[in-house]
Amino acid sequence: DAGVIQSPRHEVTEMGQEVTLRCKPISGHDYLFWYRQTMMRGLELLIYFNNNVPIDDSGMPEDRFSAKMPNASFSTLKIQPSEPRDSAVYFCASSFALSGNTIYFGEGSWLTVV
Amino acid sequence: AQSVTQLDSQVPVFEEAPVELRCNYSSSVSVYLFWYVQYPNQGLQLLLKYLSGSTLVKGINGFEAEFNKSQTSFHLRKPSVHISDTAEYFCAAGGNNAGGTSYGKLTFGQGTILTVHP
């Protein structure tokens, strides 16, 4: 079975540009998560969805960040405008509640804002 | 609020030696517990999980962990490590109370970097 698929794997962009990260969760999973990982702050939960509905977005750092899940097989995390401090690895993950909430991670999107 | 504490940020060990990575959790409700491993430049992979039943859980690559409810701990162990076990390890906890505020999401510890020396 395909795992969680993220794109792009690597992105380098200039400050002020819009960045869109994409995620395809594992088919049948009803939870989707966006995490950010940095050396300084470790692994942070930004937002998560249940059945395409945002449940908790308290981890979203500021209004420049937004996330959508238009259907069960696709989600985006958008940063507009991007800043150098947004440089991080962004992980998408998904889970199926009835399997004990085991979360499966994608390979990550490595973002560098210069 | 749920919290997960990994007591060691770095653990150096020699090849073929035993290792224990410590994890304590704090929760007012019953929890599911997990250990994930992250190799350099990769995503997190599930090592093992405790949902219910036997308190000793065996995972991939020879790792095991023991759930200790009285000590609110879930330490990860391996009797003999290999160079290839060098990675960062994350402990995580999630609420198992459907409908509870923490249901569905996991709280992660800060990670423990295991370095295995030849």
Q: Touching check for A49 and chain B: CB below 8 Å?
A: no
Give just the sign of the alpha carbon dihedral B56, B83, B114, A6: negative
pLDDT band with cut points at 50, 70 and 90 for residue B103: low
Q: Whose CA is closest to A86, among A107, A68, A60, A104?
A: A60
Helices (H) and strands (E) in chain B, counts: 0, 12
Residue of B nearest to A92 (CA): B43
DSSP letters, A11-54, are EEE-TT--EEEEEEPPTT--EEEEEEEETTTEEEEEEEEETTEE
pLDDT of residue B105 exceeding 90, the answer is no
How high is the mean pLDDT of chain B?
89
**What integer pLDDT is reported at residue B52 of this predicted model?**
84
| Mean local confidence (pLDDT), B47-52 | 90
**What integer pLDDT is reported at residue B41 of this predicted model?**
85
How high is the mean pLDDT of chain A?
93
- Give the integer Cα–Cα distance in Å for B22 and A80: 39
CB atoms within 10 A of CB B43: 21
pLDDT of residue B102 exceeding 60, the answer is no
- Give the integer Cα–Cα distance in Å for B57 and B76: 9
Percent of chain B's residues with pLDDT above 70: 88
pLDDT of residue A30 exceeding 80, the answer is yes
- Contact list, B51 vs chain A (CB under 8 Å): 100
| Mean local confidence (pLDDT), B61-88 | 95
Amino acid symbol at B62: G
pLDDT of residue B21 exceeding 80, the answer is yes
Percent of chain A's residues with pLDDT above 90: 80
Measure CA of the first residue to CA of the last residue in chain A; give whole Å. Answer: 36
With CB atoms and an 8 Å threshold, state whether A48 touches B105. yes
With CB atoms and an 8 Å threshold, state whether A102 touches B98. no
With CB atoms and an 8 Å threshold, state whether B111 touches A50. no
Cβ-contact B115, B14 below 8 angstroms: no
With CB atoms and an 8 Å threshold, state whether B34 touches A102. yes
Q: Touching check for B32 and chain A: CB below 8 Å?
A: yes
| Mean local confidence (pLDDT), B60-84 | 95
With CB atoms and an 8 Å threshold, state whether B104 touches A107. no
Q: Touching check for B5 and chain A: CB below 8 Å?
A: no
Q: Which of A33, A100, A105 sits opposite B105 (nearest CB)?
A: A33
pLDDT band with cut points at 50, 70 and 90 for residue A97: confident
Cβ-contact B75, B67 below 8 angstroms: no
Among B12-21, B68-77, B102-111, the least confident range? B102-111
**What integer pLDDT is reported at residue A98 of this predicted model?**
66
| Mean local confidence (pLDDT), B33-50 | 92
**What integer pLDDT is reported at residue B99 of this predicted model?**
56
> Across chain B, which distance is largest between two alpha carbons, in Å?
48
**What integer pLDDT is reported at residue B29 of this predicted model?**
62
Q: What is the pLDDT of residues A47-93, one digit of tens each?
A: 999 999 999 899 998 899 999 999 999 999 999 999 999 999 999 99
